[in-house]
Structure formats: structure tokens, C-alpha cells
Structure 1
Amino acid sequence: MFRRGEIASSTFHFAAKRALDITVAGTALLILAPLFLLICIAIRLESPGPAFFRQVRWGQNCTKIRIFKFRSMRTDLCDTTGVQQTTQNDPRITRLGAILRKTSIDELPQLINVLRGDMSLVGPRCHAIGMLAASKLYEELVPHYHYRHMVKPGLTGLAQVRGLRGPTTDPVKARARIACDLHYMRNFTIWMDLKIIFLTVWTELRGGKGF
């Protein structure tokens, strides 16, 4: 059983985590503003619809937050709930969207969520409400699933740098993801966050694994 008291509680580490979130997210948004503008224009030129995709997902303490992403799918085929997971060669994805997802650039607008305090750079990945794993609700497959929502969701996390990303069609892989999330929560330090950020950037620079 996972207990709230098992979450790392050092004031220093949590204060450093928030400072890192604000510094990195704020700086990145300023530097990437021209790139964001170009991507928005390219998305609008390729297919009709907004440049940004908004979706309600689980936040800290099971609150509901609205996250931002670059739209990578056709608006007429897009699942706004997030329940229908993306698969390899998904016909809903546009040509530009495939590039954005492969490089994880589609996730960058979530830096806005990080700056606002809805999310953190590192934490359990932000899940859609009613997300399925092996054709079952995550809550049914993993009884302690919602314990992962005691902390802010992250742009990246321990599960992702361990290769546990992509569609959750395998129940063993789905449970392993949640186990990684809970391990992170029990053992969190600012040094762990820095390591996960480094490994995430390293993975993306080597080509990424998104789709």
C-alpha cells in the first residue's frame, strides 16, 4: 500500500523543484517563441483547425487541468477525450503532426502548464480522464492508480526514461509504468529530477521514440 507519508517531503527539494520549473519553462518559452509561431503557421497551413490542442487531464490531487499541445491530428478525426490512444501509423495524424510527435515537439506547449503551476518538468505523465490500459480503465487494472496523482504531473518522468512509453496495450507494461511513478514519488529529490531531464533530452537528441 502506498501512503501519503511516503512521498519525499524535504522542503529544500520541493522548493528547488518549483524554482527549476519556473526558470526552465520561462526561459524556454522566451527562446522558443519564434519556433512556436512558425509551427503554428505550418499547422494551420496543412490542415484546417486551431494550432493548439487542449485537453482535460488529471492534475495533482485528482483535480482536472487543461493541458496544451501542438495539434498533430486532423480536427475531424481527433479524439478530444484522449481515451482513444495513438498507434503506430495512426491515420488521424497529419504529416507535420508525425514529425512533431516523433521529436516530442508537440508536447512543448505544456511548458505553459509548468509555468502556471499545473504541471512540473518531471513527474508522472499527465493522463487523460478515463485513460485505458489493455482495454480496461487504468483504475480497474491498477487499483492504486490514483496514488500517482498526489503530485503534479510532469512533462517527462521516470517511466518514460526507462522506455515505458507508447500505447498501453500490454497490462504488464501498464502496471510497470505506475510502479515507476510510485517509485519516483517515494524517492524524489531535485537530483533525480535533473537526471531524468538529462536522460530525456539525450533520448530526444538521439531521435526520440514518440509517434
Structure 2
Amino acid sequence: MGLRVFNYAQIDWTRLATASSLRRRGLRLSPGQQPAGCYERAAGRPRQVLLYWIEEAQPARRLTKAQQQALQRAREGWRQRLVCSSCGETIEPERRRRRLRICWACEEAQRVRARRQELRAWLREELARDIVVLDTETTGLPSDPGFQVVEIAVIAVTDGRLLFHKGVAPGTPGFIQGRKAAPSGSLPGVDMAASSLLSCAQ
């Protein structure tokens, strides 16, 4: 004879319970206890969920201290699989299925930090060479009428020495007649570019 199938909406949950519900109540199945019936759910597995009479169940045995400690370790291990080892936030389900111990945001942050370190190492190597910065002053944008370059300066990045400075196109309004080469530190645009490169390499 098959199991009795209960209508889920009409189940008397004060008398019937699933095996997991019995455990939450501090009960366990009695030896030889048979299911009172089942109910069917539309999705998920198993499709048939067994139900048991609560009055036939017996109190669950108390765990020993060693069993409690083992259970606590198992729960902690399971929680560690659910949270990111870096930030402590919940790991995305897809990443948990792939047994990854870090969330996507932290992995991306680590990738960015590694890339920055690579760029800084490369920049330090490049700055060890003879690199110069070229700075120009113009009368406006290239699209402006009468656009011309009026001043050119070249500065060494490694030590900040001014290597070249010259005013050009003396007929333009932006040119200062008789201007001499400026000392290092008096060209804000050039010095700012050099200091920016040096700070990025640190």
C-alpha cells in the first residue's frame, strides 16, 4: 500500500513534521518509526517529502562535548566557504560552486593592485633612464585662428634640470620680447609633469 499523500495546505503541522523539522524540535525518529505520509512539491528534489507523527518521535540524544566541538568546527568550515576570505562578505553562488574562496570584488581589487605594482616597477625602470619632458606654450588651441607655438622648454625628469628653453614666433601676442631661459623650478607646467611621473613611480 502506498503512502498517503497530504494536501500541503491542509497539513496539521502541530501533529506532523518532516525529519528536519523533528531535529529542530529536539526530536528524532523512533526505532522503526514509519512515515505517516508525504506531500508533493512542484519543484526541487526530492519531489515527495516524508511526514512523521510528532507524538511517535522520541527526544534526541544529547551530543557529547567532543561531538559538539566537531559539529562546531564543521559549521565554521562551512561558513568559511560561504564568505570571502578577504572582506568577509558573502561569496557569489557561482563562485562557491567553483570552490573559490574570494568574492569577485576582492579578486578584481587584487588584480588592479597587481597591475599597479607592475606599472610602478616599469615606471621606476624607465625613470632610471635619461627621460625628458617637452612643454610648449601656444596662443590657444590648434583649431583657433592664427594658432602658433610661442615657447618651448625641455626638462630632465631624473634631476629636474632645465635642458632647453626658447621663445619662438616673436611676432605673436603671447611672446615676451627679450625673455631669457628660465631656471629650473620656474616653469610650472614642466615641473608639474616631472613631479607627477616621480610620484607615480613611488
TM-score band by shorter chain is under 0.3
Greater C-alpha Rg? 2
TM-score (normalizing by structure 1): 0.19
Task: Write 1 or 2 for the structure with the bigger share of helix.
Answer: 1
**Structure number with higher relative contact order (C-alpha < 8 Å, ≥ 6 residues apart):** 1
TM-score (normalizing by structure 2): 0.20
Task: Write 1 or 2 for the structure with the bigger share of strand.
Answer: 2
